[in-house]
Amino acid sequence: MAYVGPEKRKYPRAVGRFIVSYRVIEHAGEIDLTQTKNISLGGMLLTTNCQFPLGTNLALEIRLPFDPHPIMIIAKVLESKEITKNIIYDTRLIFLAVDERHRNVINETVGYYLKKG
């Protein structure tokens, strides 16, 4: 069931599938690969193969179409919800640290995908 209440997000989200590698900051070396479901200047939703506790900090490396280099971001888990039992989880993240150049690339990507609709 889709949420029909007032929009609370600070930034618009664009639906898009972008490759993301991620790892829990405290667990160096354990990197996993996935795709985004949507992205905004403030955060993203991605599919993960495990459920993360609320507040878990992740180091992300995202490949977006308007930059040949991956974007490095630190994000915090807001929610990690089971979609398929013990296999697939929708994990919502808020970005904690994004430099100005990467913010511009994310903004350009979101704008493009929102127009493309």
The model's confidence at residue 5, banded by pLDDT at 50, 70 and 90, is very low
pLDDT band at 2 (very low <50, low <70, confident <90, very high): very low
Buried/exposed code over 45-65 (b: 16+ C-beta within 10 A; e: otherwise): bbbbeebbeeebebbbbbebe
Residue 16 CA to chain centroid, in angstroms?
Answer: 10
For the chain, list the domains and their CATH numbers: 17-116 (2.40.10.220)
For residue 112, give the DSSP letter: H
Average pLDDT rounded to a whole number, residues 92-109: 94
Percent of the residues in the chain that have a pLDDT greater than 70, as a whole number: 91
The string of pLDDT tens digits covering residues 18-69 is: 999 999 998 877 899 999 999 999 999 999 999 999 999 999 999 998 899 9
Beta-strand relationship, 19-24 and 32-39? antiparallel
Which band of pLDDT confidence, cut at 50, 70 and 90, is reported for residue 96?
A: very high
Round the average pLDDT of the chain to a whole number and report it: 89
